[in-house]
Amino acid sequence: MAEYHGQIHLALAGFYDVLAEDGVLYRTRARGNFRKRDMKPLVGDWVIFSAETQHEGYILDIDERKNSLVRPPVANVDQAILVTAVKMPDFSDNLLDRQLVTLEEDQIEPVIYFTKTDLLSPSELAHLEEVAAGYRAAGYDVIVPEKAFDDASLAEVAATFAGKLSVFMGQTGAGKSTLLNHIAPELNLKTGEVSQALSRGRHTTRQVGLLALADGLVADTPGFSSFEVFNMGARDLTHYFRDFNQFSPKCRFRGCVHLNEPGCAVKEAVENGDIMASRYTNYQLFYDLIEGRRPVYNKHDKKH
């Protein structure tokens, strides 16, 4: 039986459609030994598989993953379009920075796409432009549509797809499905979070697929991870703020965590307006959050 190497493009009801390197699509199943090893193939995985025909194949092995997400369940993601609402729900720089830190740790390049900008007053829009400029200075790609889902902003997003596996992420109600529908109308994704919630119980089959778009691959299922858990240690957090990395080599002390140390170039950059104050505040909050996860013994006894 011939062996092939390819990438999983669709997972559906225990079947995996794998696009082989020769461009032929094979329908496969996973061998039982994956279950024993507590491994499950994911869309985006590069795999070795055997097949007698295009409809009868078995996945034999999974290449090492660069990363993997839970929602949507996709592996080897290169880029995330962070769909970020500025109204309904209101913009939260804390949530955005959480997402950015998590994506940095997973080596996923973020593209920040602001939605519902048409609901802003002129002064609110001017403030958003300042925020966007701050994130651009930090080293992020930021898209602020002039009108909701206008052609220029859609083209700007699509231009980032080439040669990458992209996912759409963001909080509930931010407009992930709507944005994806505008870029790929053939998807005809259900929009409206209520209908999604109602259908969740009825449809037990969870389908995730990759769509060929603008010379890249895009996961056709938007997702949102809660981003409540930071996996890194507190002292490592600084490495995932790319704007800090622009200045930290000039800190007086090697290993500076930019809190109480003298001669800190990052704090100086915040004071000079070269790093957004909101970014530094969120860094302090995240640092304290990670430090607070350390086990506390006899905490109930302290009240007496």
Q: What is the pLDDT of residues 208-256, one digit of tens each?
A: 899 999 999 999 888 876 666 688 999 999 999 999 999 999 999 999 9
Section 259-268 average pLDDT: 97
Least confident of 143-152, 225-234, 256-265, 273-282: 225-234
Q: Return the higher-pLDDT residue of 275 and 222.
A: 275
Section 127-151 average pLDDT: 95
CA distance 120 to 13: 43
Please tell me whether the overall predicted TM-score, pTM, comes out greater than 0.85 for this model: yes
What pLDDT shows up at residue 294? 65
Number of Cβ within a 10 Å radius of residue 278: 15
Distances (CA, A) of 50 to 5, 33, 57, 63: 9, 15, 5, 15
Half-sphere exposure of 6 (CA within 13 A, CB side): 25
- pLDDT class of 205 with cuts at 50, 70, 90: very low
- Which amino acid type is present at position 160? T
Section 275-279 average pLDDT: 97
Binding-site residue ranges for Zn(2+): 251, 256, 258, 264
CA distance 301 to 202: 47
What pLDDT shows up at residue 259? 96
Binding-site residue ranges for GTP: 115-118, 170-178
Quick one: tokens of 168?
């759409």
- Which amino acid type is present at position 235? R
Section 167-181 average pLDDT: 89
What pLDDT shows up at residue 230? 84
Least confident of 160-164, 193-197, 236-240: 193-197
* All domains in the chain, ordered by first residue: 2-62 (2.40.50.140), 79-219 (3.40.50.300), 234-291 (1.10.40.50)
Distances (CA, A) of 208 to 149, 167, 211: 24, 11, 10
Q: What is the pLDDT of residues 69-112, one digit of tens each?
A: 988 899 999 999 999 999 998 999 999 999 999 999 999 999 99
Pair 49, 24: CB distance under 8 Å:
no
Identify how many contiguous H helices and E strands the chain contains and give both numbers.
9, 11
Quote the distance between the C-alpha of residue 286 and its chain's center.
18
What pLDDT shows up at residue 155? 95
CA distance 63 to 96: 31
What pLDDT shows up at residue 184? 87
Binding-site residue ranges: 115-118, 170-178, 251, 256, 258, 264
Distances (CA, A) of 165 to 8, 43, 178, 220: 12, 11, 19, 11
